[in-house]
Amino acid sequence: MSPDITTIRQALRENDGEPEGPARNARAERLLAEAEQTGDAALVIEALTHQLQVYNYSSEKDKMFVPFARLLRMWDEQPGDFSDFMTHHLFWMFKWVSSSMVDQPHIPLAAIEKWQSEMEYRYRLAGHSERAVCQGELEIARHLGDLPRAERAYAAWQAADRDRMANCHACELHEQGSWQAQRGLDTEALETWAPVLGGEHTCAHEPHAVLAASLVPLLRTGRSEQARAHHLRGYRMVRSMESMRNAAAQHIEFCALTGNEARALEIIAERPAYFTDSGNPGSLMDYLAVTALLMDRLTSLGHGGQSVPGPAGTDWTASSLAAHARARALELAARFDERNGTAQVGTQVRERLDRRPLVDRLPLGVRAVRLAAPDRKPDATPAPVPGAPAEAPLGLTGLLAEAHRLSDAQRPEAGPAWEAVARRIAEPDGAAAGLSDHDRACVEDHRAMYGSLPPAEAMAAFEAAAGLYEAAGDPGEAAAAAGRAAYARALEPGGADEALAGIAPVVDRALALYADDAATARQASAVLVCRARILGRLVQDAPDEAAAESAVTGLEQGARELLAFTEPLRAEAGVATRIAEALDLLGDVAAYRGDPHGALERYERAAAETNDAGLSWYAVEYEAKTSGLAAQLEEYERAEGAARAALEHGAAFVPARGRARLHLRLAEILAGTGQFAEATEQALDAAHWADESGESATIGAHARHQLGGWLLRLDRAAEAAAVLEAVLPDITAEEHGDGTVVQTLWWLGDALTALHEPREAAEHWLKAADIARGWPEQHDHAMLANLAAQALYRADLDPQAELAYARAGELWRELGDVPALVRTLRVRAWIAIREGQPGPRAARAFMAAAARECETALSSNPADEAPRLLAELADTHRQTGELIAHVCQGEPGEAPEYEEALGYVDRAVAGFTEAGAGFVGLRTAAELMAAWLEADLGRPDAARERARRVLEIHGAGEPDETGEERRAEAASLLDHVDRRTGPSGA
C-alpha cells in the first residue's frame, strides 16, 4: 500500500522541528523516498525542499547540490507542479546553494561563477530584485580577496531594492558588519550589528551568529565587558546547533584571546564531531585554525604536555593537537587558494593563527576546569633592552642584604626574599660556609616565619634562631625569637597553656633588656605581641563559656599591656604594627562581649595606625574586619570604604583566596545598597580568584550564585542563565544548604522564562519545589509549584500544567491563601478548553469552583480582606463570561451564550465597583468587555453608553498609563460602533 500523502506531509512538518543533525537529515531522506513512492509531484517537491533545508542547517551542507539541481530541473520541465509557496522556496534556496559553493574547495571557481550568473539570470527573468544576487557577488569577491569587485558588489547590494528574495534584515546586517570588520572598521561593524544585537531584527540564526562575530571587534575596541556578555549570551544559543560551527569557533577564539583557555577547552570537548564533520570545509578550516591558536597559547603557558580533547581515536596533548590542527587548517587553505588562484584564504588563516591575546584576564563568571600545573614555568623574562648592560644575578651577600632591607621596611616581599636566600644556601657550591651566626639565625628565624612549617618544626627553628642570635651577641633578637617559639607551641593542639607559662620569663627578660638599652622597642614589643596571641589562642581553645570569659579577660589585659608599652613609642621603627595589633585584639574582645560598635572603632584605629605609618599592606586584615562588621551593622558606606581600601592595599600581595573573599565582600556590600552593576564586576573577580586558588566549588560557587541573581536583577537574563547553569552542579545541599540550591534553581527558572524557554524553566522550578516540599514553612513550595505550572502552561504542556496547577492549588488551600487558590482554578479552566483537554463543561466547573471559594472566604474572613476577595470574585465572573463567549460556536447576534456571557461580565463590573477605588482599572476593563459584547449583540446604544462611562471615569483626575489605555480602547469601540451603525442619533 502506498504511503499516505497526508501522513508524509505531517511527518515533514514534525521533522522540521527536530534538532539539527544526522538523525533529522536521515529522516528527511527516508521521507523523500516515501514521497517518491506516491507519485505525487507536489509532495516530492515539498520533500526535496525539506531535504535541502535540513542539509543547509546541518554539518552536511555538501549534500545540498544534488537535490537542488533536481528541483531546478523539475521547475524547468513542469513549473506548474510548483505551488506559489514552493516556487518562492526554490528561488530563495538558490542563494543558499550559490553561497555554499564558495566553502567547497572541490567545486571549480568557474562553476561557482556560472551558478552566480545563472542566479542573476533567473532572478531577472522572474522579476526579482538583484539585491540578493549582489550579496552573493560580494561573498565571492571577499573570498577571493578582490577588493575592487567587493566594493562594487557592496555598493550595488545597498542600492538595490529589497523584495521577497532579499535576505532577512538580520542576516543582511550580519553580512554588512562582517564586511566592515574584515576591512578593519570594527566600530562601524558594531554600529551596523546594533539592531540585531538589540533584538530589533532576528531570525532562526540571529542574533546567534552576530553575537559570535562581534566578540573580537569588541575586544579590539576596548569593550571587553560587552564582549564577555556577548560570549555568555551567544554560546548558550549555539551550543546545541550543529550548523553553527563557525560561531563556536569564534567563541573558542575569544576565550583564547582573553585568558580563558580552560573555558575554550570545555567548548571543544562538547562537540568532538566538529573535528571530523566534512560537509562544510570552510567552517572546518576556521575551527581547526582557532583550535591551533588555542593549543599554541596553552603550549606557550607551559601546558604543552596537558591532555586535551580533540579528534576521536587519538590521545592528544596541547602541543600535538596544535601541530595537527595547524597543518590541517593550512592544508585546507591551500586547497582553496589553489582553486581560486589567489593567496587570500591562506593569508587570512595565518593571520588568525598568529593572533595574540587582546586581554590578559577577562573573568567570565562561569567555572572552567582548572588547567594542570605547567610542564615548565612560562618564559616571562622580559626581552633585554638593546645596548643595556645585562644584570648579573645577586650572590648570597646581595640576597641577604635585600632580605634584610625588606624586613626592616616591613615589606610583604620580605618572605619571598628570605626564601631566595634559603634556596641559595641550599645550592651545593659551598656559598653558605661563610655565613655568620647572626646570618644563620636570620635564615632560621625567617624560615619559620614564612615557610609554612608545622608548629613543632617552626618552634624548633625559632629556638635554634634564638640560640644563634644569643651567640652572635644580639640578646634582644634572641628574646624575640624565643617569644615566637612560644607562640608556635601554642598552635599545637592543647599547647596554649604551656606556651603561656613558657613565655612569661621571656616577657620579663625582654622588658629588662629594653630598660637596659640592650633590646629595641621593636624586639621587646614582639615578645608582648606573641604573649597576646597566645592569650588569643586560649580564647579559641576554651572548652566552655566560663573558661572563654576568663580567657577573654586575660586577652584584654595582655592587649592593653601591649598598647600601653607601644603607644608612647609610636615613632620607633616597627612599633606602629604592634599598636595596630593591640587595637585589633581589643576589637576582638569588644566583639566577643557584644559591643560591635566598640569593636568597629578599634579595627578602624588599627587600620589607621598602619596606614599613617606608610605600611598600608598591614592594614588589609583590619580593613576587611571593619568592612564585615560595618556591613552587619548596616553601615554600608563605612563598609564599602573599608572593603575598597582592603582591595587597594592588598592587590599586590594578598593570595588568591584572600582576594576572592575581599572581592566577594565588596560585591555583597554593593548589592546591599542596590549597586548591582558594580556588584557583578566584583563578583566576577571573586569567582576568578576563587578559581585561581582552587576554591571554585566553595567561594567560587557562592560568588557565581550571587552573580547570577544580580545579573537577573539587571535584566541581563541571558548572562544570568549562563552563569547559573554553570554553577548549578557546584551548589550542593551539603556544602551550601538547601536554601541556596533552591534559590539557584529559582533564579535559573526566572532567567529561562525571560529567555522564552518555559519548558526548561519548569524543570528547574519543579526540582526546587521538590526540595522545598520538606520545609516546615510551605509558602516557597507553593510559589515554586505555581511558577512551574505557569511555565508548563506557556510551553503548551497541558496535562503536566494541569497536574502542577492542581498541586499548587492544594498547597495554597493548606496555607489559607484563597486568591492564589482561585487563580489556579481559573487557569485550569482555560487549560480545559485547549485541544485534547476535557472541554467547556469542565472549564465552567473550574470557574464555578473558583467563585465558590471566593464566596465562602467572604463569609468567614475579616472585613479588611473583603476588597481583595470581592475583586477576585469579580475577576472570576469576568473570566467566566470571557470563556463562555470564547467557546461559543454560533454567531454573536444569534447565540444565547453571548447573553449569558454578558450577564457574568455585568456581575464582574458590579463586583469591582463594590471592591472599591483600588480596582477601578479592572472595573473599566470589564465595562469595556461588556461594551464589546453589547456591540456584538447588536445593541450599539448600550455599547456607546458603557464606552462613555469608561471615558468619564478615566477623564477625571491625573492621567496614568491604565487610564490612557482604557480611553484609547473606549474611543476605538465608539469608532467601531459608528462605522457599523452610523453615529449615535443619525
Q: Which uninterrupted H or E stretch holds 129? A: none
Q: Which uninterrupted H or E stretch holds 317? A: strand 316-317
Nearest to 795 by CA among 839, 763, 768: 763
What span, in angstroms and rounded, lies between the C-alpha atoms of 291 and 332? 14
- At 389 the pLDDT is 47
Kindly report, residue by residue over 687-745, the tens digit of the pLDDT.
999 998 989 999 999 999 999 999 999 999 999 999 999 999 999 999 899 999 999 99
On the question of pLDDT at 985 being above 70, the answer is no
- At 879 the pLDDT is 97
Kindly report, residue by residue over 298-335, the tens digit of the pLDDT.
999 999 999 999 999 899 999 999 999 999 999 999 99
For 178, 462, 470, 495, the CA distances from 475, given in Å and listed in that order, are 75, 14, 5, 26
Task: Determine contact, residues 438/486, Cβ cutoff 8 Å.
Answer: no
**How many angstroms from the chain centroid is the CA of residue 395?**
50
DSSP secondary structure string for all residues of 196-215 = HHTTSS-BTTBTHHHHHHTH
- At 827 the pLDDT is 97
- At 87 the pLDDT is 95
Structure confidence at residue 620 as a pLDDT band (50, 70, 90): very high
Number of alpha helices (DSSP H) and beta strands (DSSP E) in the chain = 46, 2
List helix spans (H) across 673-817. 676-692, 701-713, 717-727, 733-736, 738-754, 758-772, 779-794, 798-815
Least-confidence region, from 314-323, 738-747, 890-899, 963-972: 890-899
On the question of pLDDT at 383 being above 60, the answer is no
Kindly report, residue by residue over 514-537, the tens digit of the pLDDT.
999 999 999 999 999 999 999 999
What residues are paired with 317 via a beta bridge? Answer: 307
On the question of pLDDT at 2 being above 80, the answer is no
On the question of pLDDT at 380 being above 80, the answer is no
φ and ψ of 307, to 5 deg: -70, 135
For the chain, the distance separating the N- and C-terminal CA atoms, rounded to the nearest angstrom, is 67
Structure confidence at residue 957 as a pLDDT band (50, 70, 90): low
Kindly report, residue by residue over 908-921, the tens digit of the pLDDT.
999 999 999 999 99
- At 984 the pLDDT is 62
Spell out a b/e string for 862-874, using b for 16 or more CB atoms within 10 Å of the CB, else e: eeeeebbbbbbbb
Interior angle at CA 401, CA 396 and CA 403, nearest 5: 95
Secondary structure class of 316 (helix, strand, coil) = strand
pTM above 0.75, yes or no: yes
Task: Determine contact, residues 260/726, Cβ cutoff 8 Å.
Answer: no
- At 472 the pLDDT is 94
What span, in angstroms and rounded, lies between the C-alpha atoms of 639 and 668? 10
Q: Is the model more confident about 376 or about 954?
A: 954
Task: Determine contact, residues 449/465, Cβ cutoff 8 Å.
Answer: no
Kindly report, residue by residue over 49-90, the tens digit of the pLDDT.
999 999 999 989 999 999 999 999 999 999 999 999 999 999
The mean pLDDT of 566-570, rounded to a whole number, is: 94
Quickly tell me which residue has 532579499 as its cell.
Answer: 166
Secondary structure class of 307 (helix, strand, coil) = strand
On the question of pLDDT at 652 being above 90, the answer is no
Structure confidence at residue 427 as a pLDDT band (50, 70, 90): confident
The mean pLDDT of 403-412, rounded to a whole number, is: 91
Q: Is the model more confident about 672 or about 891?
A: 672
Regarding beta strands 316-317 and 307-308, do their DSSP bridges make them parallel or antiparallel, or are they unpaired?
antiparallel
- At 339 the pLDDT is 96
Structure confidence at residue 384 as a pLDDT band (50, 70, 90): very low
- The mean pLDDT of the chain is 92
Least-confidence region, from 261-275, 583-597, 822-836, 885-899: 885-899
